Amino acid sequence: MNNKIKKAIISLSDKTEIESILKVLKKYNIKIISSGGTSKEIKKLGYKCVEVSKFTNSNEILDGRVKTLHPKIYAGILSKRDNKKHIKELFKNDYEEIDLVIVNFYPFEETLKKTKNHKKIIENIDIGGPTLVRATAKNYLDTTVLTSPNQYKEFIKDLEENKGCTSIQLRKKLSQEAFNLTAYYDSVISDYLCTENKINFPKQKTIHGNLVEVLRYGENPHQQSAIYSRNTDLNLYQLSGKKLSYNNYNDIYSALNISKSLPKNTGTVIVKHANPCGVSINKNKIESYKEALACDPISAFGGIVSCNYKITKIVAKELNKMFLEVIIGIGFDDEALKILKKKINLRLIDASKLKSKSLKNIVSSFDSLLIQNMDNEVFTKDNFKVVSKKRPTKKIFNDLIFAFNVCRNVKSNAIVLTKNSSTVGIGSGQPSRIDSCKIAINKMKKFQKIKQNDIILGASDAFFPFVDGIETLVQNGVSAIIQPSGSIRDKEIIKFADELGIVLVFSKTRHFKH
């Protein structure tokens, strides 16, 4: 069913491409109602329009807060064109049908980025715009709603093809897009007010996001997937390579979660299947990469490397020796890009603008959502307590904190072995903690040349419930261990560590990653 458009309301904060709309409306003799800055722009471009206040015979009031909220407008939008009662009521009240609404909202999201002034933010909550849009979208059988300049071309094409009318298919599609927008807009406002009121978990939760792209498929080819961002983009910039997949994004975020916790401009992380298989914070960039790779070079094959520093020509040459899916850097210099772009499928990601503060993790399953704050607090010595008689040196204490930081980003049960601020063995994702110990030890023995005087440190993401785990690590060269406290056998663990003559440090917090 095609509907003839005779009258339109236009109220825009974003006046991009407005002239393309005005031209086609003039062509089909569509009368325009408008107000404020939009009416001035319409007249400036040489087109006619009727002021809202003249159309409703009611002045704008309350500093412009009330402009379009009038029964003459909403009756004109919401009336059913094939309902005789509605037609009579319009005639009786001297109201006219309004067939087209072109509206976009006060820039609330942009205002949040520009100011922290609560009064200014509240004034940028649009009332009239979303109300117009919702009314028009509800009555899509008879009316057409446009909410973005991105829709203008499609609308103009449809209007031309149908000689001044719009098709039901277009109106229905635009209605869906309109309700998506109003839901998004309200969810941004809701989030802001929750933050203002320090409410992390409101009774109703709407999660908003902008579609970044529809992905080729999900974890497997038979699964559909897409990626959304709360921002207009991800603040991750792909400089080269194949399109990113669902699994690529999952690995990228796992790698970045560790990278962003490392000292500024320092550290290399290698991830495979969302688990780190090598991490080093050697200040020498080349050595940092080599040490991370040496932890498990077999698992690193086809993995993701995240460099917490700008990638230079020298680093690029070293990275280029290995088959990798993705390389992430805090920027790339021109020579590095020349080298790495030769591998046309290699994905290069610039993460220099990515921020990792005030984020939440969201997991969805069975039509429910699990939401939590990210486990990305920067550790200091105050987060830990030395409980053994043997005290760690300053270097060993710092290296233990490094090991524990990596450990919290490994799937539970997790054990991480380190030497000189580089991982040398990682055991992950086992139902038994002792099995994770054995895997980490086996990795270390397979890939590392451990000397008798090397200091090996061990980290566990949760407490050892029994002494067997610690015993296994110590028997294989570990001389200092860091773990959370909280076991009913903590005293036994401390006593056992003292009997073995090792350093034992307790964390005040547990760090499972499931």
Give the pLDDT confidence of 11-49 residue by residue, as tens digits: 998 888 999 999 999 999 999 999 888 889 999 999 989
Domain 235-350, second-level architecture:
3-Layer(aba) Sandwich (3.40)
The CA–CA distances, whole Å, from 239 to 163, 308, 353 equal 45, 17, 14
Average pLDDT of the chain to the nearest whole number: 91
What is residue 89's predicted lDDT score, i.e. its pLDDT?
86
Cα–Cα distance between 255 and 273 in angstroms, integer? 10
What is residue 55's predicted lDDT score, i.e. its pLDDT?
87
Supply the CATH classification number for the domain 381-507. 3.40.140.20
Cα–Cα distance between 427 and 415 in angstroms, integer? 5
> Are 235-350 and 381-507 in the same CATH fold?
yes
Check residue 65 and report its DSSP letter: T
Structure tokens at 439: 């895997």
Among candidate residues 4, 15, 70, 138, the one labeled active-site is 138
What is residue 444's predicted lDDT score, i.e. its pLDDT?
94
> Mapping DSSP to helix (H, G, I), strand (E, B) and coil, where does residue 484 land?
strand
Find the DSSP H helices in 197-284: 246-259
* Domain boundaries, given as residue ranges, for the chain: 3-196, 235-350, 381-507
Cα–Cα distance between 353 and 234 in angstroms, integer? 9
The CA–CA distances, whole Å, from 363 to 129, 222, 349, 360, 370 equal 33, 20, 24, 10, 5
Beta carbons within 10 angstroms of residue 272's beta carbon: 20
- Intervals of the chain under pLDDT 70: 1, 232, 357-358
What is residue 480's predicted lDDT score, i.e. its pLDDT?
93
Among candidate residues 70, 86, 273, 310, the one labeled active-site is 273
What is residue 81's predicted lDDT score, i.e. its pLDDT?
87
What is residue 226's predicted lDDT score, i.e. its pLDDT?
94
Those residues whose C-beta lies under 8 Å from the C-beta of residue 446, and which sit 6 or more positions away, are none
The pTM assigned to this predicted structure is: 0.84
Can 138 be counted among the known catalytic residues?
yes
Beta carbons within 10 angstroms of residue 138's beta carbon: 15
What is residue 358's predicted lDDT score, i.e. its pLDDT?
65
| CATH class, 3-196 region | alpha beta
Can 273 be counted among the known catalytic residues?
yes
